[in-house]
Amino acid sequence: MLKLLDRYILKKFLGTFVFTMLVITVIAVVIDWSEKADDFVRSGLTGWQLIMLYWIGFIPFIMSMIYPLMVFIAVIYFSSKMAGRSEFIAILAGGVRYNRMLRPFIIGSVFLSLIFWLASQYWVPRANEIRTDFQAVYVDRNSSYNGDPYRNNNFYLRVDPSTFVGFRYYDTVNKSASNFFLQRVKDNEVVYNVRAETVRWDPQKKDWRLTGVIERHIDGVKESLSKMDSMHINLNVQPRELRRDDYLKDKLTTPELHQFIHMEEVRGTEGLNTYKVELYHRDATPFSVIIMALIGAILATRKIRGGSGLHLAVGIVTAAIFVVMDKFAVTFSTKGSLPPMLAAWLPNIIFSGVAGILYMRAPK
């Protein structure tokens, strides 16, 4: 049951957060509009089309980027204002325990954390799909850093623990390629081999159609060879999985990301730490909302000289340290040997310790 004190602090907490989030989001939209104005004009899209094809995806994306920071700043701001008016001193002097005074901060941060967690699993990835599709078509193609668009159309991959396939010049539009080969290995020896001039996805049969096929069955020194004009084969690979997508980890919902990582591990794909860090981040970042809110409450409920200005300065520095630590951890995981789960949770672990130290030293 929420008491009057809880409702009073929660109202200020949530109201300040919503106001801060809206203001910073509007500023971010204006800045992004100014940066991409030329791309918007070149796209030839109407204002409504831009809203539906870009802004409806960009706004949730930018809100997810600044969400923990906005919670932290909101707590710092309204708490420092209350501290400046000696409200927390009056609350504690009235017999309310320090732990009890922090309860509405915990309730509010848990509520906002749950909303952020749900959004990170499903809503934000769907919004990122809209944003990144627009980015790939209308922005990246105009960038001088986009590089050679044909650099990634040769594939060599493992489709199951014993089968390897490869092909060249894959066309993402026609879903076809040339110079196809398949090798099946048993006890480190090739036991089956298929080569084909072309391979094309068959949308009716949901498999791949080979043309100009040479098939070999190998049993020790014995080998049988057969030639066919065409044959169908199930590679356990969908055409969408063969498109090089720099934004893939941002577009997949959490269940889809789980499935993608599992399939790539079965295929023996390397360099999956980027996807694993993203997966663990979707749980770690919402939890950081609670930690940052507690740190903000412990710092800002103390009345000090300098008032809210000093509180905000300390808060911004603390948030900057958290962001830098998070980026370093991600880099050490994707480029080094730091385990992805540890990389995602390391800032939370460290700042949980910081929150504990601040709590023990806080005047009660």
pLDDT in tens, 93-127: 888 888 888 999 999 999 999 999 999 999 999 99
**How many structural domains compose the chain?**
2
b/e code 261-292 from CB counts within 10 Å (16+ = b): beebeebeeeebbebbbbbbbbbbbbbbbbbb
Residues 204 and 56 in one domain: no
* End-to-end Cα, the chain, rounded Å: 24
Sign of the CA dihedral 240, 243, 247, 249? positive
- 8 inside domain: yes
Q: Which of 132-146, 182-196, 228-242, 342-356 has the lowest mean pLDDT?
A: 132-146
Any idea what DSSP says for residue 163? E
Residues 205 and 166 in one domain: yes
- What average pLDDT does range 273-293 have in this prediction? 93
Residues 278 and 133 in one domain: yes
pLDDT of the residue at 142: 59
| Residue 17 domain boundaries | 4-142+272-361
- 57 inside domain: yes
Q: Which helix (H) or strand (E) holds 184?
A: strand 176-186
339: CB partners within 8 A, 6+ apart: 333
Residues 107 and 18 in one domain: yes
pLDDT of the residue at 332: 86
- 231 inside domain: yes
Task: Name the token pair of 266.
Answer: 């079965």
Residues 222, 317: Cα–Cα separation, whole Å? 71
Task: Name the token pair of 124.
Answer: 């934000």
Among candidate residues 218, 239, 260, the one where a domain is terminated: 239
- 54 inside domain: yes
Residues 8 and 122 in one domain: yes
Among candidate residues 239, 261, 280, the one where a domain is terminated: 239
Residues 138 and 177 in one domain: no
Contact (Cβ atoms closer than 8 angstroms) between residue 295 and residue 355: yes
Contact (Cβ atoms closer than 8 angstroms) between residue 156 and residue 182: no
- 306 inside domain: yes
- 123 inside domain: yes
Residues 213 and 333 in one domain: no
Three-class DSSP category at 234: coil
Residues 277 and 324 in one domain: yes
Q: Which helix (H) or strand (E) holds 205?
A: none
Residues 135 and 162 in one domain: no
- 73 inside domain: yes
Structure confidence at residue 147 as a pLDDT band (50, 70, 90): very low
